[in-house]
Amino acid sequence: MKKILLTSALVLSTMSFAQIDFSSTRFGITAGGNYSGVKNAHNPSGKRFTVQGGVLALIPVGRENQFFIQPELVYFGAGETGKNKDSKGVDGYDAVYANNYLSLPISFKGYFSEAESEFFGLVGPRFNFLLSQNVKNVPISRPYYDPNFAGGVADNPKLNGKASKFNFGVGIGVGYSYKRQLELTARYDFGLSNTYPGLNYEPKGSNKSKSEQVLSLSLSYIFE
């Protein structure tokens, strides 16, 4: 909760002290691919390829055509699989732990100059609201990876593989804009909250936070 408040305060402070021109807001659409994983959660643990897509707004900050606030609302696939390259043939290698979100990233975006076609960087928080969790082929030895597991291992009813309904993180990215309309963005989002709190109780598991991480590449079109 403290991290949420700190991140929100940072965003609000930026908006309060900067000259934001909402009347000149432009809107766009965005789509891309995600390469995601979760630290300290499953065994075996591998990456998942999935997609994202949605809409964005580009809100000018200041009089120069260089700094912006960019909120987005996107369908955002994340989670992981069991496909660790060192675990082929191991129970759980074919597992899929798919988390699908309605995601709200809010980025501070700066172009490197006022030129029409230019590189840019962005940074800001991301807030994820779970739409669905689809789990397949869980390891026989770890049935509690299933979100519907009723508990009982080591006499602990709190043990289960349910993903949190809400999680958040911080993202940083770089990209290139062609005439401020067609933009390619590479971004890394690092989770700051616990994606699978029920797995903290796994016997002989890790009680470290299950941090969801996503590397993405997206293409956006911003309307005039």
pLDDT of residue 22: 83
Distances (CA, A) of 164 to 126, 128, 133, 148, 197: 15, 10, 10, 13, 7
Q: Which helix (H) or strand (E) holds 16?
A: helix 2-17
Position 204 scores a pLDDT of 81
Backbone φ and ψ of 170, nearest 5°: -125, 135
Tokens of 119: 């590189």
**Could you tell me which of 156, 47, 138, 202 has the C-alpha nearest to residue 148?**
138
User: What's the predicted TM-score (pTM) here?
Assistant: 0.88
Q: How many CB atoms lie within 10 A of CB 57?
A: 16
The ranges of the chain with pLDDT < 70 are: 1-18, 151-155
